């Protein structure tokens, strides 16, 4: 597998997911605090998929 550059929208969505997850970890937000770790994981997985799947 050869890594590709992810599209800008994929990069921005993964960045926002990760940032919201980190923010929710430190600040208590009723809905997001419980899933903050999963938001960070989803952002990283999306970025990984965008790197290895062409056109994502």
36 and 25 in contact (C-beta within 8 Å)?
yes
Residue 17 lies in a domain: yes
Range of the domain at 23: 8-34
14, part of any domain: yes
What's the structural domain count of the chain?
1
pLDDT for 4-29, tens place per residue?
A: 999 999 999 999 999 999 999 999 98
pLDDT at 20: 97
pTM: 0.88
Average pLDDT, the chain: 94
Q: Has residue 52 been placed in a domain? A: no
């Amino acid at each position: 597998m050869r890594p590709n550059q992810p599209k800008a929208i994929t990069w921005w969505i993964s960045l926002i997911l990760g940032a919201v997850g980190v923010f929710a970890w430190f600040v208590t937000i009723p809905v997001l605090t419980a899933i903050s770790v999963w938001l960070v994981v989803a952002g990283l997985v999306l970025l990984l998929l965008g790197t290895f799947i062409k056109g994502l």
